Structure 1
Amino acid sequence: MSYSFKLGILAAAVMAAAPMAHAYEAGDFIGRLGAATVAPNASSDEIAGGRVDVDNDTQLGLTATYMLTNQIGVGILAATPFKHDIKGDGALSAAGKLAETKHLPPTVTLQYFPMPSGSKFQPYVGAGLNYTTFFDEKTAGILKGKNIRLDDSFGLAGELGADYMVTDKVGVNAAVWYVDIDTEAQIEGFDAFDVSIDPWVYMVGVSYKF
């Protein structure tokens, strides 16, 4: 028996005895940190002959997944507070900024990971619920000094994302969500009106498996 043949048998035996390296498996906790952008697809009821629009904002995004099985996980989306300018649209375009608000959009989803647990590339899809709370609302421009309030929102959410494990613990992540956010705005001196924000949320960051 040649020396090289003996080495080959020894290497095969070691590989057979070694446990398979799993990218994700039941019981894993994956935390992610990155830049998250909320891009509203806004529309509203008519107010003062026009409508309102909501601009984008980028903040620190925080997400996490707990793997219930090798392919099913529970995901959570959180972030530092997003701040949005509310601007005139249509006949109110010339009015510019009308108000501003901050919001937090915690979202919980049930996620499906179709790839085998040993794959370094782990795409996933998810669906769940969002709760958005608005705070620090302030009027500006031609509405400055008037009181404003935005009601909190419950809605459905869907997501599509992917992790790629660079090492056994560290990876990169990209994800996108579509969130149903509807609120009723109440501005002093005007009738209450509905605003659909319905944003796309984009996030790119790093992941760490615990």
Structure 2
Amino acid sequence: MKLQSLVLAAATALTMTTAFAVPAGTWTVAAGAHYVDPKNDNGDVTIGGTSYAVDVDGDVRPTISGEYFIANNVGVELLAAIPFHHDFTLTDALNNEITGRTQHLPPTLSLQYHFDDYNLPMNVKPFVGVGVNYTMFFKEKANVVGTELKLDDSVGVAGHIGLDIPFAATESFRIDARYMDIKTDATLNGTDIGKIDISPWVYGVAFVKQF
């Protein structure tokens, strides 16, 4: 429902007209940091006939994004980051645990609409977007001797909502939140053990420069 709300907001915004304060051909670059906060229930996997509940922790890393305005107030944004690191815990019904870790890169491409010239307090500029996320997993490891863990790459829908607070003609402070649909198939020693559902909210702040 959260993702559906973001998609609906983005679709509604793209049909609106304004006085167009961000002209086509404008570039912006945003540099900051984001916290990946996985959903609470990350699914279950089965190892050797035993079912384990999966819990994935969060992580914060520096990020950078570039956006090009293909039309007035409508931009295409690409988000990039240095690899996020996640520890995970697998817990069975007897509270036996298997721990491990992985890294991932989540480049995300979004189509966004920026609300400008609405005479909002402090001249803030809200925006919404919807797009696609591609998550690449690597350096997977389960802390069990003699095992090899593999997490498949993931492709899913992403939603984006945020607020730019200008403090100069071409510079802003940004706060934003994204929802990313990230689900990965896991294998252990070549055997399918189930699907891990990370699907995080991603919260961030950034400095934005317009060119």
**TM-score of the superposition, structure 2-length normalised?**
0.81
Is 1:23–1:117's contact at 8 Å kept on the other side of the alignment? Answer: no
Residue 134 of structure 2 corresponds to which residue in structure 1? 131
Residue 154 of structure 1 corresponds to which residue in structure 2? 155
Find the aligned partners of 1:92 and 1:183 in 2 and give their Cα distance. Answer: 25
2:97 aligned partner, one-letter code? A
Aligned match for 2:24, one of 13, 18, 26: 26
1:43 lines up with 2:42 in the alignment:
yes
Find the aligned partners of 1:163 and 1:189 in 2 and give their Cα distance. Answer: 46
Find the aligned partners of 1:116 and 1:109 in 2 and give their Cα distance. Answer: 22
Gapped runs of 5+ residues in structure 2?
A: 1-19
Once superposed, what is the RMSD of the aligned Cα atoms? 2.1
1:61 lines up with 2:60 in the alignment:
no
Is 1:111–1:127's contact at 8 Å kept on the other side of the alignment? Answer: yes
Residue 199 of structure 1 corresponds to which residue in structure 2? 200
Residue 171 of structure 2 corresponds to which residue in structure 1? 170
Figure out how many residues of one structure are paired with residues of the other and give that number.
186
Higher strand fraction (1 or 2): 2
Secondary structure of 2:93 counterpart:
helix
Residue 73 of structure 1 corresponds to which residue in structure 2? 75
Is 2:45–2:196's contact at 8 Å kept on the other side of the alignment? Answer: no
Residue 209 of structure 2 corresponds to which residue in structure 1? 208
Measured against aligned partners, the alpha-carbon deviations of 1:51-72 in whole angstroms (never above 9, x if no partner) come to 1111000000112211122211
1:122 aligned partner, one-letter code? K
How has the CA–CA distance of structure 1 residues 34 and 93 changed in structure 2, closer, same or farther, with 3 Å as cutoff? Answer: farther
Higher Rg? 1
What fraction of aligned residue pairs are identical, expressed as a percent? 38
1:67 aligned partner, one-letter code? F
Deviation at 1:117, TM superposition (A): 8.9
Moved runs in structure 1, 4+ residues, more than 6 A? none
Measured against aligned partners, the alpha-carbon deviations of 1:50-99 in whole angstroms (never above 9, x if no partner) come to 211110000001122111222111111111100101112463754162x1
How has the CA–CA distance of structure 1 residues 56 and 149 changed in structure 2, closer, same or farther, with 3 Å as cutoff? Answer: same
Is 2:75–2:113's contact at 8 Å kept on the other side of the alignment? Answer: yes
Find the aligned partners of 1:92 and 1:188 in 2 and give their Cα distance. Answer: 24
Deviation at 1:207, TM superposition (A): 0.8
How has the CA–CA distance of structure 1 residues 93 and 168 changed in structure 2, closer, same or farther, with 3 Å as cutoff? Answer: farther
Find the aligned partners of 2:94 and 2:72 in 1 and give their Cα distance. Answer: 52
Is 1:23–1:118's contact at 8 Å kept on the other side of the alignment? Answer: no
**TM-score of the superposition, structure 1-length normalised?**
0.81
Deviation at 1:45, TM superposition (A): 2.8
